[in-house]
Structure 1
C-alpha cells in the first residue's frame, strides 16, 4: 500500500469514497438529493482548489493500482475560507443569502474532515495508515499541534479505532442536527 497526496486525476476513484463517508451530508454540501448532481458537484469541488473537498486537502491510499482509501484534512483556522465556495454555491442555488454550514473544526486544530476506506479493503490497517500519514504531515509542518476529528456517536467501531490511536473525546458537537463526538490528539 502506498499513501500519497491526491491529484485532480483521482476524481473518479475518490468521489465514491467521499460519498461513502459523508452519506446525507453530501446532499447538504451540494444542495441536491439527486445522485448524478451530487457526483457532478463533488467532482467539480474536488478538481478545484481552495475548498474543503479539494484534492489539495486529501491523502489517498493506493493498492492494486487503485484508490482504496482517502483522508481529507486541513487546519481549522482555514475552515471558513475553505467552506466559502460551497456556501456561495448553496446561497445562489437556494436563493438564501443567510445560508451557512455547520462549523466542524475548531480554530486551533488540524481537522480530519473525512476518512473512508473501500469495504473490499477494510480491516487491513488502511484507515490507521491514512491517519498516521496525516499526523506525520502535521508534525512536519507545525511541530506540536492538536489534531481532531468528529465521529458519529453510534459508530462504536470507529470510536474504538480512534481511542486505540490515542484520540480522546473532549466534547459533543451537533452537526446537521446529529450528535458527533469531537476527539482530539496532541502530537
Structure 2
C-alpha cells in the first residue's frame, strides 16, 4: 500500500533517506557518524516545512511497515524548505552552509526515492514514482523532475521508460547528476 507518510514513520524513513543520499545526508545534518545522521534525519522528518518533512513524503508499506519512500515538493519552495536545515547546520558547525540548487523553480521535484534492498526488484520504486506523478498532475503542475547520478545507468533507463527525458547535467555535493524532466 502507498500512503501519505506519518510522523511515526520517522525511524524507517531516516534509514531509507540515508540509504538514498549518503554523503548529502552528512551535509544536510552537519553530522558524520551514521547514528547521529540518522537521528537528525528522523528529526527533520517529524518536523513541518522542510524538504525532508513527512508532509512531502509518500511511503510504500508491507505489513504496515514502510519499506519505500519518495520525497517530493515544488521547486519554487525548495529554498524556503531548506531554511530550517540551513539553520540547524549553521548552529551545529558554526558555518553558513551552502546547498546546491537541485531543481528548477518551475518543476515539481522528486528529491529522494528509496526502497529497502530486501524489497528491491518488486516494482515498489516505480509505484512510488507513479503515485507522486499522479499527485503532481492532480495539483496542476506542468512538469516533474528528478536527478539521477550520471553513473547510475539502470535508474536512468527506468526513469526514461516512465517518460522522463534529459535536460541538463548539474552538480550536487561535488557529484554529477543528470537532471531529467517529464511533462505532465
State TM-score, norm by structure 2.
0.97
**Count of residue pairs the alignment pairs up:** 184
Q: Matches of 2:119 and 2:109 in 1, distance apart?
A: 24
Which whole-Å deviations, capped at 9, do the CAs of 1:108-128 have from their partners, x for residues lacking one?
A: 000000000111111111111
Are 2:148 and 1:151 aligned? yes
Give 3-state SS (helix, strand or coil) of 1:181's partner.
strand
Q: Structure 1, unaligned stretches of length 5 or more?
A: none
State TM-score, norm by structure 1.
0.96
Counterparts in 2 of 1:119-134, with a 5 A limit? 119-134=117-132
- Offset of 1:65 from its aligned partner? 2.3
- Offset of 1:59 from its aligned partner? 0.4
Q: Matches of 1:92 and 1:64 in 2, distance apart?
A: 39
Tell me what 2:139 maps to. Answer: 141
Q: Which runs of at least 4 in structure 1 moved beyond 3 Å after TM superposition?
A: none
RMSD: 0.9
Which whole-Å deviations, capped at 9, do the CAs of 1:44-97 have from their partners, x for residues lacking one?
A: 110000000100000000112211110000000010110001111112222224
Tell me what 2:68 maps to. Answer: 69
Are 2:168 and 1:171 aligned? yes
Contact 2:14–2:39, Cα closer than 8 Å, also in 1: no
- Offset of 1:25 from its aligned partner? 0.9
Which whole-Å deviations, capped at 9, do the CAs of 1:2-61 have from their partners, x for residues lacking one?
A: 110000011112211111101111111101111121111111110000000100000000
Tell me what 1:30 maps to. Answer: 29
Q: Structure 2, unaligned stretches of length 5 or more?
A: none
- Offset of 1:178 from its aligned partner? 0.9
